[in-house]
Structure 1
Amino acid sequence: MFKYIDFLIKKILKRKQNVIMVFICFFVIIFIYVMNINSQNILRDSLVSQIKMNEKAINDKTKIMKSNDIADSNIQSLQKEIDEINTTKKKYSNLVEHYENKQWNKFYSGYLNELNNQKKVIQQTQNISKKDTNKNEYLEMIEATDKQINIINHYRKNNLNYENSDYPIYGITFTLYLFKTVFPILLTAVSIYLLSQVFTFDYVENIDRSKLLSLTPIEKTVSKIIAGCIIVLGIFTICTLTSVLIATFITKNIGNDYPIMVLVDNHLTCIKAITVFVKVICMNIFYMIFIILLSYIMSLLIRDSLTLLLILLCMTIGCAYLPNILPVIKPFSHLFPFIYVNALLVIDGSLTKTFMNQNIHFNFGMMVLITGMIVLIFLIVVFNQKIKHKIFIKNKKESY
């Protein structure tokens, strides 16, 4: 049995296209990391642009003041406006200086004041607004500002260097970013691509070559599932470790204490990245095992690797995003194992909000995946019993 497992793994890993798939995963990780590093100074650039806008406003108002056809009362009003703009410009200049000198405590204190002022202005404008559509936009702006305030507060309290939370660059936070963006589709597609080969390798024109081996149906099943687990979980582990190590090596920071925004009781709360990371890894491992078992079941019905690949891709990726297309199934979406491919979106509450379904959370997701795995194992046992029964009857007939 172990020789058969070793044979399957080596056969899959020796194929050039499979090695290329793994290198594509590495390329995607590195490419996204470079993009995130280039996006780190978005906040500073935004502050610099505000300074330039203030300078332009001051120059425009100064030109108006110097014109001859303006009343003294207007000059006083303009001078007051210029003084106010100068004060704002000074604040932004100080923030940029603190940012560039990495004086993070001073930067956080000043930036939090600006964020709180922005929130007050948005709330005042919201109260004045008479249109409901505008009020919804203001609510979104307030929520985004609150999120930024929470993150900056977390940075300040934990004495952390600034990181653009939308494009993280530290070990664990960057890896979680990948789990939120590309890993769900990328790792699922690569896993199914490899599994479709592992589980259909023995079939040539619907003839099962594994019958030539002295293995029972149960031994063949266990061998293939173990080989699938080693390959898929191996790729998953390698990609996860690669993203963590690359980001940690370059920044010299693993990012354990950096914040991840999680929806708790309808309120956004900062949770340390390491806590979320452990849950994401756990849910992803169970999801991968579920996909392996499902792929094996499907391979018993569909013996062509390409057909199996296409059907599995439609089932896994298609069903994961089906509630977005069919709103009527959103109340029942928590029962679909496939939506838990987006583990981070489940854990941080994004899917709960998107699907308006309070049952989508980590504990229920784990229960659904474990239940799904038990059902699939039961089906595999049933299939094996039928195969064993057919072989027994066939041998009995041949003996007569």
Structure 2
Amino acid sequence: MAIKPVKVSQLNAYIKRVLQSDPLLGNVCVVGEISNLKFHSTGHVYFTLKDENSKISCFLAAENLKFLRFEMADGMEITAEGYIYLYEKGGTYSLNIRDIQIAGLGNLSIAFEKLKERLSKEGLFDEKYKKPIPSFPEKIAVITSESGAAVRDILKIIKNRNNIVDVLVYPVLVQGPGAAPDIADAIRQVNQLFPEIHTIIVGRGGGSIEELWAFNEEIVARSIFDSRIPVISAVGHEIDFTISDFVADRRAETPTAAAQMAVPDVNDLKSSISQLKMNLQYQGANFIRKKELQLQRCNIEAMASKFENRISLQINDINNQYKEMFTLISNLIYNKKNKIDSVKEQLEALNPQNIMERGYSALLNSEGEFLNSVNALKIHDVFTAVLKDGRIEGSVKEIRKDK
């Protein structure tokens, strides 16, 4: 009996129905190592899951990727939960993943380094974004487990150091699948509901890397980075480092160290203030004593004597200048007088009146002009002879010229 041929699409559709109807293949958990990891622009993730003998193509939808608590990377061993799916057009099947779990120190270290590298490139760890921790806070919020040792240690230290500070304990899960969203929500809610809070301490006591993993998740890192209130990260012990430590404004090695970092010790402050008071009093006393000594040196009688001496010196100086000026002016007047007398003598020597004293006279024509030549007159012209004691009027009868 001949077998009826079917189309490829019909065969693939039949195989798909068989696969989807198998309850075992509809919900499987597969352990393997990630390879050929590709993040598509749509947000979906494609990779291969392999062991030492075989491999299978895997698909992780974008809506499931956002619920992962770690950063995927090649070489990471995971446990993938999902179902077998056949892509009819290509005739290929794959494991469509609903959830992924990882375990083991090596795998968690890979996820830690991948997320740390990505957030660092985004700038979430940059010092320029770090906010200073207030030196004298009035209110502090502690986000941690209400039943853990960390909250007891923090409250004890704060009470011993500074019983003036108000403390708000905001209880959250600190490990397990729901811990990271719980911590992130708490940080956001404290910022929104309690804006008067000055500092937030977020953390927990020590534990394994799996137990501390909530503080390595991206959702917690971004909530710390977005916090308007300064955040101190206090997770585990001194040797433990989490993503929260890198993104927080300050990292404390332990919850106890965070409490010491968050509030000043009142006793130390009192001691410092007392010492400061003593220093101020000592400096003030020295200052006053110094001024008293300066005042004593400023004796009023001595100052008056100094002023009198200075005034006397100034008077002597003025008198000397006066004498010098008087001598200078006297000499100038004397020299000018001598010069004037000399000019006067010269003028006197040239005075016609003096010449006339010696028997000379001056002749003037009818118009009062001096005559200096016989040619200036004619016969019958009138003239005036000016002598020292009067005038003589006359006329020309004869003109004789010297040969």
**Fold-level similarity (TM above 0.5):** no
TM-score by length of 1: 0.25
Which structure shows the bigger proportion of residues in helix conformation? 1
Q: Per residue, is there more strand in 1 or in 2? A: 2
RCO (CA 8 Å, sep 6+): is it higher in 1 or 2?
A: 1
TM-score by length of 2: 0.25
